[in-house]
Structure 1
């Protein structure tokens, strides 16, 4: 492994010269469930952290959503929970603008005892899939767009969320005003601070809009030609939104379906592919599609049932899927059609891209993007035909092949012969063990509905 200590020392010195008031630094990772975990070090330790890295148990990437370890594949209790070394990602040292205490943060990537990338770290899984794409002399250009809800910090009975009170009107948000500018104006200070925080952290944001439910917004991240950075940005964007919302007295959530009767929150992924000369191979010229575009979509649709466990990782994730609400429920594709799973937006031919519309906002960006790039590679190398593009509503009823329940999705993934080749031979099994244990815990809980239904039948 090359010695990067000189560069690390230079990066930390330059940072502290610009932000001398910094008191501490947060070292961060996104685990299997996309939950950000880490440690906080006093700023006096920054130089050592940058040069030597920090120790973490490798099992941190095998925790469920609640942070519980279930010893999947014997990783945790059975193997003694050994440490590995986590190293800062170059260029990730940035300030934390929403913190009351002057803080810095940086992202980590992990190596095992032999110095090799830790194979079940989600970021390293994406890196392996990306290498397969690069073997075709192709470079993905990636953008995420995420929906999220602002919530009142006061909960309703049963811990249910409620929309926030608009700083503009003094009234609680209600109704659906998609693209409503009054909603954007009402939370303009918060949205402005999100944009400024992202700018300070080198996260490239673009358009922001009100979405289909009270307190729901969408912010787009700009296209970048580094897929790993795009996923890093997505992870850190979520942290920034939550931090800024807290500063403004609200809670932000990327939960897929916080309200049963309102729209869910998605994480749409946009990908185009450049060849070694910088030409977009999805560009069909005067035709709307190139053979490469069709084959990539064919592979995505072929792997979609096997990938649902990554795209909808939680019990709540599957509540987002329903017919006729612009959330895909079929293996479908089409041009400028928001009811399909794989949409091809119209516009300049040289900007032709695939928009993957299935993932929820609660998905791990590394694993979701890894599954998308795996599907595109699979389709390109096997020249898979996606069939006829769909016109009209593609989501009138559920596709029976798509697993629309958590355990069915896990079973589809377990039976996959293709995903292990891309993600790692045993990674789908490790992921499945972790998630199945989480679902078992969830099923063991007694809900208020259970008392309402079954006490009266006694």
Structure 2
């Protein structure tokens, strides 16, 4: 009989991996923190079976760290419980081989002694919303697109970051090259290695495009159940990063690494299926959108303003809205319109869904998915009206909204949000707010080179 443990993984999975990869001597175990950063350990081959059968202890304070890894006391997670470990267990289906590192990799998740999910972990917040959806008769389905820059390790003559050289030719282009297939060809040795890694990690990477800036790319990931879709982003970002290092470049997942150039988003495509896998957002008749989907859009529109601290979690995130190249800082919706926040793509009526375009690629995918699904379910329960669809350029024609205008306002709105507290739970909500406030103060005290240049000897 196969025995499963918290997280759903089994010893059979571990033993199959060891049999398939006899040369692997180490496995990276990754617990995803509130920023979406994987933290954990690298264990030896002989330890893998015990990880699956007995779990592994890690401190809960990992969810109390700012993005630099420093503890934030206001979270209540640092030494309040004496600093003891909590048990972490592998996430079923995430054990795989990373060719770029020569090591195995598996996602892990933290649990209480009674087997319930540890409340400060973002993955469990999404799990609660998925369970809520299932209790309503829905199976959440989704995919997240990942935009990123590939940059050189060496700065240019003025000390600025610059696009990476193409591994095929050694050439560097400073052109935008939007959707250039020749650019993809010159970068193909790198992306071939990424796709090779994806195949061994059960990561269903699909289309690749050269995006709207020099050195910027987008990878799409196949649609599947929403929890696994969020797992896919964690795995994809680490795969891209580790592969880039082996090619002498760095992958950058900042939302706005270059002020004048396009920002990097993480668009969430979402729909709800029935028990048989049928799409409940499918058009009921030709030219008519699903009332259920429109109610979901209405619910999300009502909560975007309260969740911007999740969708744009860092100071840099807000630079993405200062120059709106396909990065909507609004709460609008529309049909086949890339200037709105919630876009209903054209295409097959049977595959109808909507795309949430506000989150940056720097956001935590579990939190983004949790607040988006939570808002959608609230909208369905309330039979929310989405309001009129925006046509034309929403940057110019969008109705007034009450979204936060800067990072601090977003944190304060999130702190006072009953919706955010209900969706994430008290412990995660309190901890996330404390971490974001600490990061805000850290950045508020940092004087940039731009300030010295503009003000230093002028005022």
Q: What is the TM-score when the length of structure 2 is the normalising length? A: 0.95
Query: What are the superposed Cα offsets for residues 266-314 of structure 1, whole Å, 9 maximum, x if unpaired?
Result: 0001011112343322122213311111111001110100111111111
Aligned to 2:280: 281
Matches within 5 A, 1:89-104: 89-99=91-101, 102-104=102-104
> Between Structure 1 and Structure 2, how many residues are aligned?
454
Deviation for aligned residue 1:367:
0.4
Matched residue, 1:229: 228
Equivalent residue number for residue 408 of structure 1: 409
Alpha-carbon separation, structure 1, partners of 2:229 and 2:151: 27
Match of 2:259 in 1: 260
Give how far 1:72 is off: 2.7
- Identify unmatched segments of 5+ residues in structure 1: none
SS of residue paired to 2:366: helix
SS of alignment partner, residue 140 of structure 1: strand
Q: Which residue of 2 aligns with 1:115?
A: 115
What is the CA-CA distance between 1:50 and the residue it aligns to?
A: 1.6
Structure 2 unaligned segments of length 5 or more: list them: none
Q: Helix, strand or coil: the match of 1:267?
A: coil
Aligned to 2:152: 152
Which of 65, 86, 89 is 1:87 aligned to?
A: 89
Instruction: State whether residues 374 and 419 of structure 1, in contact with CA within 8 Å, keep that contact through their aligned partners in structure 2.
Output: no
Deviation at 1:233, TM superposition (A): 1.0
1:12-51 CA-to-partner distances (Å, cap 9, x unmatched) read 2221111100111111111101111110111121121221
Distance 2:140 2:305 in 1: 23
Report what 1:431 is aligned to.
432
- 1:148–1:324: structure 2 CA closer, same or farther, 3 Å change rule? closer
Deviation at 1:323, TM superposition (A): 5.5
- Cα pair distance change 1:169/1:395, threshold 3 Å: same
Residues 176-231 of structure 1 deviation map (CA, whole Å, 9 limit, x = unaligned): 1211111111101111111111111001111000001111110100001x211111
**Contact map agreement 2:122 2:424 (CA 8 A) in 1:** no
How far apart, in 2, do the equivalents of 1:7 and 1:56 lie?
A: 18
Distance 1:154 1:301 in 2: 43
Equivalence map 1:117-132=2 (5 Å): 117-132=117-132
Aligned to 2:349: 349
Show the 5 A alignment for 1:64-75. Answer: 64-75=66-77
SS at match of 2:299: helix
Q: 8 Å contact 1:323–1:396 — kept in the other structure?
A: no
* Compared CA separation, residues 45 and 158, structure 1 to 2 (3 A): farther
The 5 A counterparts of 1:8-23 are: 8-23=10-25
Give yes or no for contact 1:327–1:395 (8 Å, CA) kept in 2: no
Q: Contact (CA 8 Å) 1:86, 1:108: kept in 2 or not?
A: yes
Q: 1:437 to 1:261 in 2, by over 3 A?
A: same
Alignment CA distance shift 1:239-1:297 (3 Å): same
Contact 1:326/1:395, CA 8 A, preserved across alignment:
no
Alignment of 1:367-382 (within 5 A): 367-382=367-382
The TM-score, its normalising length taken from structure 1, stands at 0.95
1:449 paired to 2:445:
no
> What is residue 325 of structure 1 aligned with on the other side?
325
Shift in Å, 1:156: 4.2
| 1:210 corresponding residue in structure 2 | 210
Q: Is the 8 A contact 2:255 2:360 kept in 1?
A: yes
CA distance in 2 between counterparts of 1:85 and 1:78 reads: 17
Equivalent residue number for residue 37 of structure 2: 35
CA distance in structure 2 between the aligned counterparts of 1:448 and 1:48, rounded to whole angstroms:
50
Query: Match for 2:53 among 51, 54, 57?
Result: 51
Aligned residue for 1:272?
271
Q: Is the 8 A contact 1:288 1:349 kept in 2?
A: no
* Cα gap change, 1:397 to 1:308, in 2 (>3 Å): farther
The 3-state SS of whatever aligns with 1:431 is helix
State the Cα deviation string for residues 238-276 of structure 1 (Å, max 9, x = none): 000111111111111111111111101000010111123
User: In structure 2, what is the Cα distance between the partners aligned to 1:166 and 1:249?
Assistant: 10
Preserved CA contact (<8 Å) 1:180 1:210: yes
Partner of 2:136: 136
Instruction: Describe how 1:178-217 pairs up with structure 2 within 5 A.
Output: 178-217=178-217
Q: Measure, in 2, the Cα distance between the counterparts of 1:325 and 1:359.
A: 14
Secondary structure class of the residue paired with 2:457: helix
Q: Which range moves more in the overlay, 2-11 or 235-244?
A: 2-11
For 2:361, the equivalent position in structure 1 comes to: 361
Q: Report what 1:392 is aligned to.
A: 392
8 Å contact 2:28–2:104 — kept in the other structure? yes
Segments ≥4 residues shifted beyond 3 Å: 5-8, 156-160, 167-170, 397-400
State the distance in 2 between where 1:279 and 1:48 align.
39
